[in-house]
A and B are shown apart, each in its own frame.
Chain A
Amino acid sequence: MKRKFSAVFALILAFSLVMTGCGSKGASGSAAASGSKDDAMKGSVAMVMPGLITDEAFNQYTYDGMVRASKELGIKTAYREEVSQDEQVEVIRQFAQQGYEIIIGQGGQFGEALQTVAKEYPDKQFVFSVATDTGGVPNLTAATVSYSHAGYLGGIMAAYTTKTKKVAMVTGEWYDPHRQMEASFKKAVASVDPSIQVTAITTGSWSDVTKAREASLALIADGYDVLFPCLDAAFVGVLAAAQDSKDVKVVGAVTDMSKVAPDVTVGSVVFNWEELGYQESAGKLLDGKSHVLGMAENGITPVMSDMLSADGKAAVDKAVEALKAGTVEIDP
């Protein structure tokens, strides 16, 4: 028994030594990159995220935007994923101490932490992403995509698709942006046909697929034939519910849902998270103000499939022009 154990232990040791040899290559590469510090840190960007950079949602796409900025402008970048609430201040402060010039907090939960560190490092720039509140700190800029514009375009598509004159928005929880989205969604539907009935529900979870599917089936049983999901991973549940039912269509939001379910998706309003991450990282927004990237700023892109009628497509194009010109009376 003991002998077996020591043999295994020796093997593990030997293995770890071999692995160390392989591993040291990567480390030396990064050491070289951080060579002459002042030059290398010019325009450097660090991004902290609440989720993973492989989540196929805003964490990943804003990160991709930072990578694009890094490639185009040759700036040094760093990131940390899955930053929990108790370590936000600590992690952001460490990036500031290491000399990163732009530090981006990705998500509404970073507000207090960014304000705290921004006050401590007035010579650095901070970006509060997916938010509009700068707290009056001069070196803190807020930036997000326009949920209102997304809701408005989604509303036009939904209104031209419904046959039962009942459309529904499905979201995870009520954050303020989703309230704005709901308001403009309703406004757009009413602008097409005021007799269409609009409802908006929350499932209580951004990622629970089953909950989203069950909530959608309940809506469908109630006669709703167009669903407008604004969810993270849970949107798949809405698509599944539509696929399992007859004559139910989906207007996607956030991502292009026709890639997942082309048979039921009439169109999507895509949030250009990648563009947001790019503009933040490239230093285009750093003025201490609040930025909302709408149609005119390439924050939202509508995509439509052939299931949407020609009238519908024309209406969406018209709405896009109106949003760009700023003639629609909704929140930015």
Chain B
Amino acid sequence: MKSVTKSKMIRMPLIGDVMMSGARTVIGIVMGLVAGGILIALSGVNPFAAYASMLRGAFGSLPAFSNVLVRASPLLLGGIGVAMGIKAGVWNTGIEGYMYLGAIGAAVVAIQPLSIPPILHVLLSFVVGMLFAAVWGLIPGYLRAYKGVNEVTSTIMLNYVAIYLTSWLVSSPQPLAEEGAFYPMSKLFQESAQLPILMRGTSLHPGAFIGIAICLLFYFILNYTPFGFRTRMLGSNINAARYSGVDTKKQVVFIMVIGAILGGLSGAIEVTGLKHRVYMEFVTGTGYQSVAVALLAGGNPLGVILTALFFAALKAGGATMSIETGVGASMTDVIIALCVIFVIAVGVDGRRRMKKKTAKAETAVTTEGKEDEHVV
């Protein structure tokens, strides 16, 4: 028995080490892309041509890359919101709902003709949006911390409530809604409440840069502040955290509300930056994709920047790919899903290796006979 374990560890030392390191995310992504390529080929399109057009669509020119940044904006903010939760052992899957609430809050301010400087008008919209989302996030946070309600269930349920609430609010005759519109939408935002376009002929708004700054901020908070330490302790061992005097319930509520605020900001930026109206069902899965972003990043804020940009590049490039080569529009989602699945699968493999290593470490201190019993 022992010899088998030993030979496995020895036979492929290099691959084993690579698997253990952060590179396994990269391996998972590459495998996902290969599998996606096979599916593209099955649909009758040359996968190399398809991926080339995807690359062009994401990085081929400055306007193309600006599309990536626009798409990355909600993923960055939503991703970091979920990542904070992962670090604390809480699954904050309500980003989709927070985005709707943030958008509504922003719209309430943004449609008012206020005689204040544009920067203040935009900031005020953000603050009200974040406030709306924070209140929304308080519900699952409180339920999880004090009533023991599973936060995945409650946040996903509340997402639906938020979606329908928004649909109702932007359908006439509600005060927010545009009258006589052919699709339920809010009134047009005042010009002073619209985010500036940073590059002519594109939709590039500052959202992605705000997102990256916030990811860096949370990297600092998580690693260098008492609050961050408490958060990480909560995630690694909740009993130890409680034993050392952390108010774990309060901490859980905090984490959920912070995630909600970030989700709300993400929604507020999306509506003030892109279309300057809240349309019915304006978020289509971005909130759930940010869960995948955080998952792929392993909850690491710096990883969130990379994975959010990667997802955004896949989405923006995928749009060009389907326009130029005729690959179905849903192929992008399929490729993203494949990447996530492979990264998780490779990760599971890594954990098993971890166990083997510990088993091997134990052999060093025990006699051979004892070790055999141990492993079997």
Contacts and interface: CB of A to CB of B under 8 A. Distances in A.
A298 interface: no
B325 A30 contact: yes
> Majority SS of interface residues in chain A?
helix
B325 A27 contact: yes
Interface residues of B, number: 58
Nearest to B180: A176
B270 interface: yes
Given A19-B41, A108-B183, A80 B49 contact: no
A108 B182 CA distance: 5
A27 B41 contact: no
A135 to B, nearest CB: 10
Contacts of A195: none
B13 to A, nearest CB: 13
A86 B11 contact: no
Interface stretch (A62-70, A109-117, A214-222): A109-117
Nearest to B40: A23
Given A86-B74, A87-B71, A24 B46 contact: yes
Interface in B276-295: 276-277, 279-286
Contact of B322 (A80, A111, A112, A176): A80
Contacts of A111: 181-183, 185
Interface string B317-331: 001101101101110
B47 A130 contact: no
Contacts, number: 133
B183 A107 contact: yes
Interface string A60-89: 000000000000000000101111111111
B38 A86 contact: no
A23 B286 contact: no
Contacts of A81: 328-329
A27 B182 contact: no
Contacts of B316: 87, 90
A130 B42 CA distance: 35
B300 interface: no
Interface in B136-187: 164, 167, 171-172, 180-185
A44 B49 CA distance: 23
Interface stretch (A91-99, A158-166, A234-242, A269-277): A91-99
B315 interface: yes
B363 interface: no
A321 to B, nearest CB: 29
B319 A80 contact: yes
A78 B138 CA distance: 47
Interface string B196-207: 000001110000
Interface string A134-148: 000000000010000
B274 A12 contact: no
Interface of B: 8, 11-12, 34-35, 37-38, 40-42, 44-49, 57, 67, 70-71, 74, 164, 167, 171-172, 180-185, 201-203, 270, 274-277, 279-286, 315-316, 319-320, 322-323, 325-326, 328-330
Interface of A: 2, 12, 15-16, 19-20, 22-24, 26-27, 30, 78, 80-91, 93-95, 98, 107-109, 111-113, 116, 120, 130-133, 144, 173-177, 204
5 contacts: A12-B34, A27-B325, A82-B330, A88-B275, A175-B184
Given A22-B44, A85-B284, 4 more contacts: A84-B285, A85-B283, A112-B279, A173-B171
